[in-house]
Amino acid sequence: MAKFDHTITVAKAKTSVDKLWFTQGDTARYLGVSVRTVSRLRESGKLPYCQMERLILIKKDDIDHMVERYRVY
């Protein structure tokens, strides 16, 4: 039984929230917006990203910083 509990814990640790780099789709789900909105944020310079060939990756810390930067108090 203990092994089963450990397996569940490991599986939970691999959710997208624990990743360092997100795809555009991951980013859209994380923010609750469309992929097109993520593209607009990238194109406007509000959201830094890394592009390797056709793969676009966005660092989770950059997403969190962007949200804090545009937060309205």
Q: Tell me the domains of the chain and their CATH numbers.
A: 16-69 (1.10.1660)
The pTM score is 0.73
Residue 4: the pLDDT is: 43
Which strand (E) or helix (H) includes residue 54? none
Nearest to 47 by CA among 26, 72, 18: 26
Count CB neighbours of 70 within 10 A.
9
SS3 52: strand
What are 5-53's pLDDT values in tens digits? 444 444 444 554 578 999 999 999 999 999 999 999 999 999 999 999 9
Tell me the β-bridge partners of 21: 59
